Amino acid sequence: MRRTLIKEATLVNKGKQFVASVLIEGDIISRIIPHGDELPTQCDEVIEAKGQYLIPGVIDDHVHFREPGVTQKGDIASESRAAVAGGVTSIMDMPNTSPQTTSLEALEAKFKLMGKNSLANYSCYFGATNQNTELLSNLDKHEICGVKVFMGASTGNMLVDRIKSLEAIFENSNLLIATHCENQDLVRQNTNHYKEELGATEDLPLAYHPLIRSAEACFQSTSLAVELAKKHNARLHVLHLSTAKELELFRNDIPLEEKQITAEACIGHLMFSDKDYEKFGTGIKCNPAIKTIDDQSALRAGVMNNLIDVIATDHAPHLLTDKEGGALKAASGTPTIQFSLVNMLSLVDQGIFNIETVVEKMCHAPATIFKIEKRGYISEGYYADLALLSKNNPWTVSKETIQSKCGWSPFEGTTFNWKVDKTFINGHLTFNDGVINSDIRGKKLKFK
């Protein structure tokens, strides 16, 4: 069995920083050795990590890897390469592919694709529709991360807009329900209003995107999801909050382990505000829309005061040609997974977060919320999913560094002070100082 020693790193784990060495045997963390204790001598590899930070691998509960069916934008292999280059060791993929993951057959086929092609550990959501609620009782909660409900715009028939269907989903699902919350009727009304106001027939200027997909549209839909979850005692996880007002619907007065209703914020909403549309254009257009600087500030505060439980990406690659147009025509979605961790660490440098909070929200909390077996922490007996980081090691994002198949990023040209040096997937050194071992394959996540 291969033995790897990561020597004298600064571990960030369970809210603490401390210097220790970590022994990996096979795919498991076998020992955490306190600073000053005798170290094992018979190791296949010793990694000198003094001055570097060792954290659990990031668990991203919200990605769109585009396979099957939309692989011109990205695929499981390419986007998992981007993940591991960014210190992300586990991902949960969304069901709006082609075909959609809305049948048991499509779900099985998706898992086979992921097992064949993903460098990162993986799971995927089952997509709820107005027509497939009877299938929810057939889903294995130990094998599937959750049920995804689009209570806003989506592709194909995945918009669940019938209250009878929503009631059935919240009543019958024994899995976590993850929701995209935007009131589609209000979005439609706003679209028609601004078209009439501007005399437009097809598209609208990008600045209207957060007005169309408004704060009120988000609040109304999130309120409904929370109401349904409370009514049916369902396990609800609201994805990509984008407004200050939505934070009123969540609690921070109970431990995470006891929460039935949890919330996620995504990189785009934490890094940008509507003032950034002028600089970045449709490169940062996403749904729900990036909104005001006050909303951004409230979301950042929500991370620190535990109204927001998870930081994820909503990683969604598009070709640049897909991003042409304005508020209505340009595709919504941004490739962010490779740069999610370093962006959050840049907010640590700015004094907005601390590194313990970043690890809690990106590593620990997803494992706790989804009840993932033996991941998310640096603990003896857990899988060796780890990211080794260096601080004060500036580097600049260029086209050559971008791993996503779409070939672009809104962060191109950005210089980061933190760098992901190495990423371990189940004990395997999968990303090593800019080099990816594409022969590695992740494991299917298991849930308690």
Phi-psi region of 393 (alpha: psi -120 to 50; beta: other; left: phi over 0): beta
Q: Which of these, 115, 104, 176, lies nearest to 138 by C-alpha position?
A: 104
Q: Whole-prediction pTM value?
A: 0.97
Verify cis geometry, omega within 30 degrees of 0, for the bond prior to 288: yes
Map out the domains of the chain as residue ranges. Answer: 3-55+384-436, 58-370
Q: Which fold has domain 58-370?
A: TIM Barrel (3.20.20)
**pLDDT of res. 151:** 84
Given this model, what pLDDT does residue 154 score? 46
pLDDT of residue 82: 98
Rounded to a whole number, what is the largest CA-CA distance in the chain? 75
Residue-by-residue pLDDT tens, the chain, 448 positions: 999 999 999 999 999 999 999 999 999 999 999 999 999 989 999 999 999 999 999 999 999 999 999 999 999 999 999 999 999 999 999 999 999 999 999 999 999 999 999 999 999 999 999 899 999 999 999 999 999 999 854 445 567 777 888 999 999 899 999 999 999 999 999 999 999 999 998 999 999 999 999 999 999 999 999 999 999 999 999 999 999 999 999 999 999 999 999 999 999 999 999 999 999 999 999 999 999 999 999 999 999 999 999 999 999 999 999 999 999 999 999 999 999 999 999 999 999 999 999 999 999 999 999 999 999 999 999 999 999 999 999 999 999 999 999 999 999 999 999 999 999 999 999 999 999 999 999 999 999 9
Note the Cα 152 to chain centre separation in Å: 19
Classify each residue of 2-25 as buried b or exposed e, where b means 16 or more C-beta atoms within 10 Å of its C-beta. Answer: ebbbbbbbbbbbeeeeeebbbbbb
Q: Own/partner pairs for 293-298, CB < 8 Å, 24+ apart? A: 294/244, 295/215, 295/242, 295/243, 295/244, 295/269, 296/269, 296/270, 296/272, 297/244, 298/243, 298/244, 298/247
What does the angle CA 181 – CA 243 – CA 281 come to, to the nearest 5 degrees? 90
Helices (H), 71-103: 76-85
Going by C-alpha positions, the residue among 442, 393, 433, 387 that lies closest to residue 417 is: 393
Residue 350 contacts by C-beta under 8 Å, 6 or more apart in sequence?
none
Sign of CA dihedral 244, 249, 252, 258: negative
Are the CB atoms for 259 and 309 separated by under 8 Å?
yes
CATH topology of domain 3-55+384-436: Urease, subunit C; domain 1 (2.30.40)
Beta bridge partners of 183: none
Q: Residue 431's CB: how many other CB atoms inside 10 A?
A: 27
Asked whether the beta carbons of 376 and 367 are under 8 A apart, the reply is: yes
Residue 116 backbone zone (phi > 0: left; psi -120 to 50: alpha; other: beta): alpha
Q: Tokens 């930070």 — which residue?
A: 53
Sequence-ordered alpha helix ranges (H) in 305-405: 340-349, 355-359, 365-370
Instruction: Please give the pLDDT value at position 158.
Output: 65
Q: Do 90 and 374 meet the contact criterion of CB atoms below 8 Å apart?
A: no
